[in-house]
Structure 1
Amino acid sequence: MSDHFVFADEAGCFKFEAGGHASRYFILCTVRMESCEVGAELLELRRHLMAKKVIEDEAFHCTMDKQKVRDQVFAILGKHKFEIDATILEKAKALPRTRPDEPTFYKYAWYYHAKDLLPRRFKDGDNVLISAAALDTAKGKAAFRNAFNEVIQQTGKHLEHTTVFHLAKTDPCLQVADYCAWALQRKWERGDRRSYNLIAQKITSEFELWRFGKKMHY
């Protein structure tokens, strides 16, 4: 069986309120690849930019990076083979019972994403490393890590899989997921397709979970 790698990140916040700085959507994004060469090239770019004093941060982070840095990162992403799956959750349509706390809503998002992703994209016995970017929130990382692990155990029973929950700065391929999630968020939140168009050909699913829902809960 084949070896596969999945890297995940999310976009949007856990504020369930209208207006202000709250995001309209929570977006869970995964990238699937059989080779992690894109990560090696991103590390090389980071060293090059640091040598020229263009960047000082430990890792690429799309929200914080300058546009000239984003342009170079997206240029590298465009050269490599990987596939993107995204689940889009409009937070106002989420039933209150799905969001009593942040880890519970995170678990729901992962369940709806993984229950189709894992059976559809991987064959029985495939060996898959599933790496999610750790969330550093006031509620603590452990609850989010446990939610993630429980969902993968439930939805990935047919796989030989390993899960890791690390900070995005520890793996450049997690930074690929960060960039893809950011591009998706810009499209859904602002109608800005500039970065989205650079990755659009790699998107194999972009599923709006409650697209037929009518009731808003706030």
Structure 2
Amino acid sequence: MTDELPAAAMPTLYIFLDEGGNFDFSTTGSQYFTLTCVSLYRPFKLHTGLDTYKYNLIEHRLVPRIEMEYFHCADDNKHVRGKVFSMLADSIPQDSVDSVVVEKRKTGPALQPPEKFYPKMLGYLLRYAVEKASHGIGEVVVITDNLPVAKKRKAIEKAVKTVLASMLPEATPYRVMHHSSRAHYGLQIADYFNWAIYRKWEHDDASSHQKIKLQIRSEFDIFKTGTRYYY
């Protein structure tokens, strides 16, 4: 038995998901909701660099949080945040990031329940990301953070299955997996990209966004007047 794959085997497309904002559609909720994915093929070149940087922070007692386990953009201090964004700009391929931006006040009441809202928005995002894949796909693996809400987990799995089953060749497998972001640099990378996009829209702060703008392939305002999206 061998772990080696045939040379002609098509690569697996990994899609890492993150989100910003909340599901509160009242005036006290966030103005925007963002759903962002990072599409990557192995080898994941940045993982080693992030791991080295994390342990450099620990060894030199520069950790931004007590017992830093992982990178989390909202909690990391500005120096760590700046360094990680520079690493993303240098190591993540251009046009690897797609995002759907929802101005929540424009969302009709029928679409607001998470089990309806999430599959619709995720469906738009996944369809575009897979359609823009740079070459043939052997398998699609969608990875999200662990989700405590059962309805949300089911909504994600429904969206993945609905979209991918309708657009991939019949023999192309796909999976959705829920991992802890603490254990996966792919999810931490998605968190950083989504944070920058969310900050741009929710807080009119594009300073971090500017650093990684070449990596962002699409940033779609889903309810922009007069615009039709992929469905």
Query: TM-score, structure 2 length as denominator?
Result: 0.82
Match of 1:13 in 2: 22
Match of 2:225 in 1: 212
Match of 1:27 in 2: 34
The answer to whether the Cα contact below 8 Å between 2:146 and 2:178 also exists between their aligned partners in 1 is: yes
Corresponding residue to 2:159 among 151, 165, 184: 151
The answer to whether the Cα contact below 8 Å between 1:38 and 1:173 also exists between their aligned partners in 2 is: no
Corresponding residue to 1:132 among 121, 127, 144: 144
Q: Secondary structure at the match of 1:16?
A: coil
Runs (4+) of structure 1 exceeding 4 A deviation are 122-125
Q: Which amino acid aligns with 2:183?
A: T
Instruction: Give the 3 Å change call, closer, same or farther, for CA 119–143 of structure 1 in structure 2.
Output: same
Structure 2 residue ranges without an equivalent (≥5): 1-9, 227-231
**Following superposition of structure 1 onto structure 2, how do residues 105-116 of structure 1 map, counting pairs within 5 Å?**
105-116=117-128
Instruction: Give the 3 Å change call, closer, same or farther, for CA 78–124 of structure 1 in structure 2.
Output: closer
Match of 1:216 in 2: none
C-alpha distance in structure 2 between counterparts of 1:129 and 1:41, whole Å: 23
Corresponding residue to 1:183 among 188, 196, 208: 196
| Bigger Cα displacement from structure 2, 160-169 vs 179-188 | 160-169
The answer to whether the Cα contact below 8 Å between 2:16 and 2:144 also exists between their aligned partners in 1 is: yes
C-alpha distance in structure 2 between counterparts of 1:99 and 1:123, whole Å: 35
The answer to whether the Cα contact below 8 Å between 2:39 and 2:129 also exists between their aligned partners in 1 is: no
Residues 29-73 of structure 1 deviation map (CA, whole Å, 9 limit, x = unaligned): 001112312122212211111122222221111011100110111
Q: Which amino acid aligns with 2:20?
A: A
C-alpha distance in structure 1 between counterparts of 2:59 and 2:25, whole Å: 42
Q: Which amino acid aligns with 2:152?
A: F
Match of 1:87 in 2: 100
| Bigger Cα displacement from structure 2, 5-14 vs 51-60 | 51-60
Matched, 1:121 2:136: no
Matched, 1:173 2:183: no
The answer to whether the Cα contact below 8 Å between 2:118 and 2:152 also exists between their aligned partners in 1 is: yes
C-alpha distance in structure 2 between counterparts of 1:170 and 1:26, whole Å: 25
Larger Cα-atom Rg: 2
Structure 1 residue ranges without an equivalent (≥5): 214-218
Matched, 1:74 2:81: no
Q: Secondary structure at the match of 1:156?
A: helix
The answer to whether the Cα contact below 8 Å between 2:12 and 2:137 also exists between their aligned partners in 1 is: no
Instruction: Give the 3 Å change call, closer, same or farther, for CA 122–98 of structure 1 in structure 2.
Output: farther
Residues 97-132 of structure 1 deviation map (CA, whole Å, 9 limit, x = unaligned): 1113x3432222212222332234366653222111
Query: TM-score, structure 1 length as denominator?
Result: 0.87
Q: Percent same amino acid at aligned positions?
A: 29
Shift of 1:3: 2.3
Match of 1:57 in 2: 68
The answer to whether the Cα contact below 8 Å between 1:119 and 1:156 also exists between their aligned partners in 2 is: no
C-alpha distance in structure 2 between counterparts of 1:122 and 1:6, whole Å: 13
